[in-house]
Structure 1
Amino acid sequence: MSRTPNAAADPRSPLVFDVSRLGRRPGAMQEIRQTVPSPARIGLDLIAIEPGAPLDLDLRLESVSEGVLVTGTVGGPTRGECSRCLEPVTGEIDIALTELFAYPDSLTESTTEDDEVGHVIDQTVNIEQAVVDAVGLALPFAPVCRDDCPGLCPTCGVALSSAGPEHHHDEIDPRWAKLARLVPPDGQPS
């Protein structure tokens, strides 16, 4: 999702906020404390906030000379799978958010690239991309169910945490396989 000044925000999105009450009066402020459903899957391949999951918003929207400054926290439940054993992993994430949305025709809007800052469009700000970026940076790239997760057996694929210490496979290095056939099954030389 790009932040272009020409793109209209979906007013039905729970992460789009009307800032018309702030006017363009620096110092005017609006606080938002609510829980909204996640509009989409937010995160990485192995772990994310699922669509519809509750997002806890504690935000402050402040009018500044160049736009609207959004600060606060966003939190929600995460779901995914362990990168070692593929077992389900759940958790919570809380991210800090600080994002400037430039007013149309402001100096900030005219001196920055389209995707460098957000924009106030039709008296609204859409924080979805800022939340997506912050969550993506905060989540672990390779989540684990526990720090000492042993993963899966590379031979048979069973979870090593439930396989027990006796789990092993007698494998012969393929380079020595022909020599192993020369030794009788009882291991005694002939």
Structure 2
Amino acid sequence: MMSSQHGSALPNRNAPFVLDARALNRAPGSMREEHRVVSAPSRMGLDMIAIDKGRDVTLDLRLESVSEGILVTGTVSSIASGDCVRCLEPMDLDVEVPITELFAYPHSVTSATTEEEEIYRLIDDLIDLEPVVINGLGLELPLQPLCSEDCPGLCTDCGVPIASAEPDHGHDTIDPRWSGLLDKMGSADSSKN
């Protein structure tokens, strides 16, 4: 897991995945819900399938103050786009990333006793959720996306998607070992005409 903040850089308060935790006043037990739709700031996901830049991403979260930081739970959902690895047709996939992550307060015991890359931290009471979402997408999205589990793929002879091919689609193929005989038979048929 990577830290949400590299060094002590202040997250951009207006970034789509940055949440302000000041209203919780660091009082354990205080809680608020965050429901909003934001635009993906960049392409987020895997090589074969991802949430496109600018696509709506829905945040349904609960921020709860605990003694060591802010516990963020809930889901982040959107639609990922890519190409089916069997038929190469464009496809969309609903994706929901479950979130359960502690963002440690500066100078808390958790922050002081945990390596930088092992836990996320609040900076100036801001939570940068983007790296959590990116990591979650890496776990939720399929490495080899399919438009359907039973996608038949492409015709091995001509490359046409089998699902959209004519019902009688097929190719007459001759075993190369028999091609010499076919050539002789073909020339014998033409000499009879």
| TM over 0.5, shorter chain | yes
1:170 aligns with 2:173: yes
Aligned to 1:118: 120
Within the candidate set 24, 27, 36, 1:25 is matched to 27
Q: Gaps (5+ residues) in structure 2? A: 189-193
Q: Deviations over 1:126-157 (max 9, x none)?
A: 01111111122111111111221111123332
Q: Aligned with 1:181: secondary structure?
A: helix
1:88 Cα deviation (Å)? 1.1
Question: Once superposed, what is the RMSD of the aligned Cα atoms?
Answer: 2.1
Residue type matched to 1:85 in 2?
A: C
Q: Deviations over 1:84-116 (max 9, x none)?
A: 111111131122110100111111112222121
Within the candidate set 49, 52, 65, 2:51 is matched to 49
1:28-107 alignment, distance < 5 Å: 28-107=30-109
Q: Extract structure 1 runs of 4+ deviating beyond 4 A.
A: none
1:62 Cα deviation (Å)? 1.0
Q: Which has the higher helix share?
A: 2
Q: Aligned with 1:25: secondary structure?
A: coil
Residue type matched to 1:48 in 2?
A: A
Identical pairs, percent:
44
8 Å Cα contact 2:78/2:95 also seen in 1: yes
Aligned to 1:181: 180
| Number of residue pairs the alignment of both structures matches | 184
8 Å Cα contact 2:2/2:118 also seen in 1: no
Q: Deviations over 1:13-67 (max 9, x none)?
A: 1110111122221111121111111122121112111111111111111111111
Residue type matched to 2:171 in 1?
A: H
1:2 Cα deviation (Å)? 4.3
8 Å Cα contact 1:55/1:74 also seen in 2: yes
8 Å Cα contact 2:2/2:120 also seen in 1: no
Name the CA shift for 1:36/1:136 in 2 (closer, same or farther; >3 Å): same
Residue type matched to 1:166 in 2?
A: H
8 Å Cα contact 1:40/1:52 also seen in 2: yes
Residue type matched to 1:172 in 2?
A: D
Q: Gaps (5+ residues) in structure 1? A: none
Q: Aligned with 1:93: secondary structure?
A: strand
Q: Give the Cα separation in 2 of the matches to 1:44 and 1:128.
A: 15
Q: Give the Cα separation in 1 of the matches to 2:22 and 2:118.
A: 23
Residue type matched to 1:89 in 2?
A: M
Q: Give the Cα separation in 2 of the matches to 1:168 and 1:139.
A: 36
